[in-house]
Each structure stands twice: as C-alpha cells, then as structure tokens.
Chains A and B, each alone.
Chain A
C-alpha cells in the first residue's frame, strides 16, 4: 500500500486545482460582470447555437414521423366558434336547446380558461423530454443528442447554477443585514440599491436568463406602482435586476422569511402578516402611505394574483388601481422554446420548480416597459384595471381574458350563469310583448 499515497496525493491536488480554476472562472466570467452590470455576450451566443440545434431536431422529428406515417400531436387550434344561432330565434322552439348544447360540448373539448393553468404546448422540440408529446425513438442521432443534452444540463449547468444561486442569495442576506446597521440617509439608499442589483444579477445568471429590456425610458419612478403579468416567481428577479422596487407580499417562514426580513433592513419593502392580508383596508392604507412618500421606491405588484401560463392575461384585481398613483405597466413574455417558465403550483412545489428551471437550457424573455398610465375622469378602478390589462396584453402578444385567475382553484360565480339566462330570456320575452301589442 505504499503506491497508494502518491496517487492519493495526486488526486487531491488535481481536485484542488480544478476547484480553484472553476471558481476563478466563475468569478471572472459571471460574478464580476454581475456586480458591474456588464455582459460578455456569452449568453447570446449560447442562445443562437441552441436555436439552430432545436430547429434541426424538430425537422428530424417531422421527417421521422412522416416516414412512419404517424400523425404528430399538434397544439390544439380551435375550429370556427359557434355561430349565434339564437339571433334568428324569436319564440321558444325545441331546437333552442341545440345552441346551449353545442356551446357546452365545445367548452368540454376546449375552453379558454383551464388551459391557461397548465404549461403551453410547443410546436418544436427543445430536447427536453418534459415538453415533448412526440418523443419516440426517431433516430439514433436524435437520441444521442438528447442524451448529450441531459449530461450537459444536469452534469455541468445545474451544479454551476446552484452554486451561483447560493452565492447570490447568501450575499443578499449578508450584505443587506450589514447595510441595515447604517443610519437612514443617502449613503444607505445608494448602497442598498447597488447590493440589491448585484445580487439579483447573480441570480439572473444562476438561471441563465437572457432578458431583453425594451423602452427603458418608461422605467417606473418613485411614488409609482409597477404592475406586470405574472407567470412565475422568477418575474420578480427579472424585473428587480434592472431596477429597484419595493416588494409587496406575505411573510413566509423558513428561508424565504429570512431573506424577506434581511431585505427589509436595507430598504423599505411591504411585508404583510398572514392575518393582515385579508384586511383590504389595511393593505390599501399601507400601499398608499408608501406611495405618497416620494423617497421610497416604486411598488411592484402582480394584479392577477396567481401564476398564469404566459399565453394570456387574466383579470386584474382592482385593489392596486384604487390607490390613485401613476401606474407603470410592464409586459413580460417568455420564449417557450428554451424552457417553460410557468409555475404550476398544483403540480410542483417551489424547490422542484426551481430545480426544473435550473436544469432547462435557458430562460429567455422580453420585458417591455409601457408608458405610465393614470386613472382618467369618470373611470372607475375596474375600468382602469382593464385598460392597463389590455395594454399589457397587446404589447406582449397575449390573449386578453376577462376571466379571473382565481378560477385556477375556485368555482366561477353564479352571476355569470345568470347573465346567460337573462340574455336568453330577453330574446323570448321581447317577442311575447310584441305579440301582445299586435
């Protein structure tokens, strides 16, 4: 066992060297640029290469499917909607039932709402088995490529990203706690801003998020409220790495709670206890107080109240639109070709969701800062909310829906059914009155 020692030593030395090299590379290429907000353009190159590979893979699958004569599963595209057969009806006829019947069965086959709560289906394949419905063994080359993808993603990218994530979060907690000891003033605000930006940028790189910001001249200013469509918790990181916001939310326990408590030491965020969340007046008061203080950062709010799958924007809760300050709408659109960012909270917990994010290829998204909007004369909060929602939907290329995101978990209100009944009745009764007059 005398030969054992030199090899053992050699192994240790090699491990030590590779660790040091790895960390230096990490520092130079990722952490330092994050601190100063510059970029080497590595991620853009990565993105272009990936796109070429995906296109090739998709073409291969389509060719393979044609050879085997297997029809491909394409995302559902709606046939023509049901015509308003009832327009011509005037009196009740037994055939009136057909209208409701057909509408009902059409909604069973496909409806506008339930599909927003599960991940979008893709036309092309991005080498992730989780997003593919057509994965059969088409060719050896494709399978090898997929296998290679797995090795790269889980063996190289995932550990890299996890390290970065820990670094980012750790730095955030430590540095904000330190800053908390400084007296309130310009230095504190300046440092807090820098620290927040730096840590969020490290987190952005931890997810390999490639973000394009548009129209930065409309970035939210102090005393305003920033509203955006909600797809996942990552939205926060994406927005906060380009500007400083005051976050609003419920205090959680565990690691989240630690992060929240240390963040609030450096600059004022609005955290609510679980019990306070139900009290709408309290919430509104705290938000208005914050907004009136012009030295405080703009508030970041997601009015949908829940995560939607980024194909549509659902009803905005009117609470944030009643406060009466300038609203800065922001549209966030993820490119689903690289990895689906939607958090289906009924399917995945937070940790498994983050692991899925970190083992995708990349998260590519576009952020549009829309011009600020204020409530106009004679417009109530709901109309204002719908106007903002329409603007965001238009910019992001999303479907503008009136349905409530709360339908993910709750039942639809009976008032909607009553409206349908009223419409039908009006048609019947209208004719009865005509008949009695003639």
Chain B
C-alpha cells in the first residue's frame, strides 16, 4: 500500500523530535511526508543525490554547501542522513518567536537561537571545518556565488576588504566570535527564519 506518513513515524519518535527541535506535531508529520517523497531509494535516509534532485536547490549557487550542512560527519560520498538529522538541521530555521511557547529554563539552547543560526551560516563559509574562515575559503565561497562574472582581482579585493573589516586579532582569518561581531547589527532572526504555516 506504500508508505503513509503517520503510520511509519511512531508517536514516541515524534515526541522526541518535538523536544529536540521544537517543531509542532503537524509540522513534523508534514516534513516527514516531504522526507519520504525525497527518499527515492525508500531506505529511510537521504543521500546527496536525493537533495540534488530538487531543481530549485540545484540551481542555487550555494546549493552544494547547503546540502553539505545536512551531513555533519565527513565529506564522504556515501553519506546518508536520517529523519532525525534532517529535522535537526531544518530546526535552525524555525522562527525565534515560536520559542516563547515552550520556555523551559532547564533546557539547553534551542537549535534556532541566534547563535546557532549564525553558527550554521559560519559553517557554510568554513569549508575545511577548522573553525575559522581563511581568505582562501572566503574567495572560494565568493566564487560560488558570482560564477564567472567577476575577475579574480576584483574578487580578491572584496575578500581582502571583508577580512580587514572583520579581523580583530590579526590572524588574517575570521573566527566565529569575529563573525558574530560583524553581524551584530543584522537581523539574523528574520533573515534565517522560514515561516511555516500550520
């Protein structure tokens, strides 16, 4: 009869995901049916190919970096992400206002806090995951965003200017704290949130 959304996801799992990510019951079932529709191999996990099959994601200049964010382990081609991992990553984009309902002082910082949203963006720049953005990494990401339309020199000067403005300890790269400082005036909550109708 084929897989049906609610029947394959047990109530206990939904509760656990709810606690961990803060999504509501109906949001979780809906994202689960989205997960299964992307899972062409029907083995309960998504591979990078499954993501690349989404045309709007494939034409996104940073598509590969975003897909990479779902596979925290390594850059192995064989990587698979299960539903929990999928939800954990998507949770970064929950609007912060929604947290008001589940204020629990003992809980750890929610996945969609400002800091965690910034961390997500930081990791998009930090290609080798060494917790700092070097000039080289910045250049590579810039290159992804502009394609062939801007010369190396121009791109280089943009990268230099950016690092100059952000770097405070003089190591010619941007650490996470420096990144936070640069973006302190930006409305991260709004730019990195996706409104999700009930």
The answer to the question of A103 belonging to the interface, with a C-beta cut-off of 8 Å to chain B, is yes
CA distance A136 to B162 in the complex (A): 57
In the assembled complex, the Cα of A220 lies from the Cα of B191 at a distance in Å of: 52
Asked if A438 CB lies within 8 Å of chain B CBs, one says no
- In the complex, the answer to whether A101 meets B150 with C-beta atoms within 8 Å is no
Q: Is the CB of B61 within 8 A of A420?
A: yes
- Is the Cβ of B54 less than 8 Å from the Cβ of A107? yes
| B26–chain A nearest beta-carbon distance, Å | 4
Within 8 Å by CB of B34, from A96, A110, A426, lies A110
B129 contacts partner chain A, Cβ-Cβ < 8 Å: no
Contact A109 B194 (CB under 8 A): yes
Taking residues whose C-beta sits less than 8 angstroms from the other chain, chain B's interface range is 35 or more
Kindly identify which residue among B25, B63, B148 contacts A104, using a CB–CB cutoff of 8 Å.
B63
B residues 136-192 touching A (CB-CB < 8 Å):
141-142, 145-150, 154, 158, 162, 166, 174, 179, 182-183, 186, 188, 191-192
B127 in contact (CB, < 8 A): no
Query: Do A133 and B58 touch (CB < 8 A)?
Result: no
Contact assessment for A129 and B38 in the assembled complex, using a CB-CB cutoff below 8 Å: no
A102 to B52, CA, bound (A): 16
From 74 to 89 in chain A, residues with beta carbon under 8 angstroms from any chain B beta carbon are 74, 76-80, 82, 85
- A selection of 29 A-B contacts at a CB cut-off of 8 Å is A73-B5, A79-B194, A94-B162, A95-B183, A96-B145, A97-B121, A98-B188, A100-B61, A100-B62, A100-B66, A100-B145, A101-B121, A101-B124, A102-B93, A105-B194, A108-B66, A109-B196, A114-B37, A114-B55, A133-B33, A412-B55, A417-B59, A417-B147, A421-B145, A421-B146, A424-B146, A426-B149, A429-B149, A429-B154
Q: Separation in Å of the B44 CB from the closest CB of chain A?
A: 17
Closest CB of chain A to B24's CB: distance in Å?
8
**A422 and B149 in contact (CB under 8 A), knowing A104-B63, A107-B56, A107-B60?**
yes
Distance in angstroms between the alpha carbons of A130 and B56 in the assembled complex: 29
| A99 sits at the interface (CB 8 A) | yes
B37 near A101 (CB under 8 angstroms)?
no
- In the bound assembly, the distance between CA atoms of A135 and B5 in angstroms comes to 11
Contact B55 A103 (CB under 8 A): no
CA distance A407 to B34 in the complex (A): 18
Per-residue contact bits, chain A 403-438, to B (CB 8 Å; 1 contact, 0 not): 100010001100011111110111011001000000
Closest A residue by C-beta to B60: A104
* In the complex, A191 has a CB within 8 A of chain B: no
Contact A113 B197 (CB under 8 A): no
Is B60 touching A420 in the complex (CB atoms < 8 A)?
A: yes
Across-interface contacts of B66 in A (CB, < 8 A): 100-101, 104-105, 108
Contact of A118 with B by CB under 8 A: yes
Which of these, B24, B25, B55, B158, contacts A111 with CB under 8 Å? B55
Interface residues of chain A: helix, strand, loop or mixed (majority): helix
Chain A residues with Cβ under 8 A from B125's Cβ?
94, 97
State in angstroms the CA–CA spacing of A99 and B26 once bound together: 27
User: Which residues of A have CB within 8 Å of B51?
Assistant: 108
Q: Which residue of B lies closest to A103 (CB)?
A: B60
Give the shortest distance, in Å, between B192 (CB) and chain A (any CB).
Answer: 6
A106 at the interface (CB under 8 A from B): yes
A interface residues (Cβ-Cβ under 8 A, vs B): 71-74, 76-80, 82, 85, 91-115, 118, 129-130, 132-136, 403, 407, 411-412, 416-422, 424-426, 428-429, 432
Q: Is the CB of A428 within 8 A of B146?
A: yes
The answer for the CA separation of A93 and B195 in the assembled complex, in Å, is 24
Q: Are A113's CB and B6's CB within 8 A?
A: no
A418 to B34, CA, bound (A): 28
Closest to B25 in A: A71
Contacts of A110 in B (CB 8 A): 34
The 5 lowest CB-CB distance pairs between A and B, nearest first, are A421-B147, A425-B149, A107-B56, A79-B195, A104-B66
Contact call A97/B4, Cβ cutoff below 8 A: no
Knowing A92-B162, A95-B186, A425-B150 touch, does A105 contact B90 (C-beta < 8 A)?
A: yes
Please, how many angstroms separate the alpha-carbon atoms of A71 and B6 in the complex?
Answer: 11
Q: What B residues does A108 contact at CB under 8 A?
A: 51, 54, 57, 66, 90
Report if B29 contacts A (CB, 8 A).
yes
| CA A98 to CA B124, docked complex, whole Å | 10
Q: Which residue of A lies closest to B192 (CB)?
A: A98
Instruction: Give, as a whole number of angstroms, the nearest-CB distance from A436 to chain B.
Output: 11
Report whether A73 and B26 are in contact in the complex, using a CB–CB cutoff of 8 Å: yes
Find the residue from A103, A105, A420 having the highest chain B CB count within 10 A. A105
B192 touches A416 (CB 8 A): no
CA distance A424 to B174 in the complex (A): 23
A405 CB to nearest B CB, Å: 11
Chain B residues whose C-beta falls within 8 Å of the C-beta of A79 in the assembled complex: 194-197
Interface code B1-31, partner A: CB below 8 Å = 1, 0 otherwise?
1101110000000000000000011100111
Contact call A118/B194, Cβ cutoff below 8 A: no
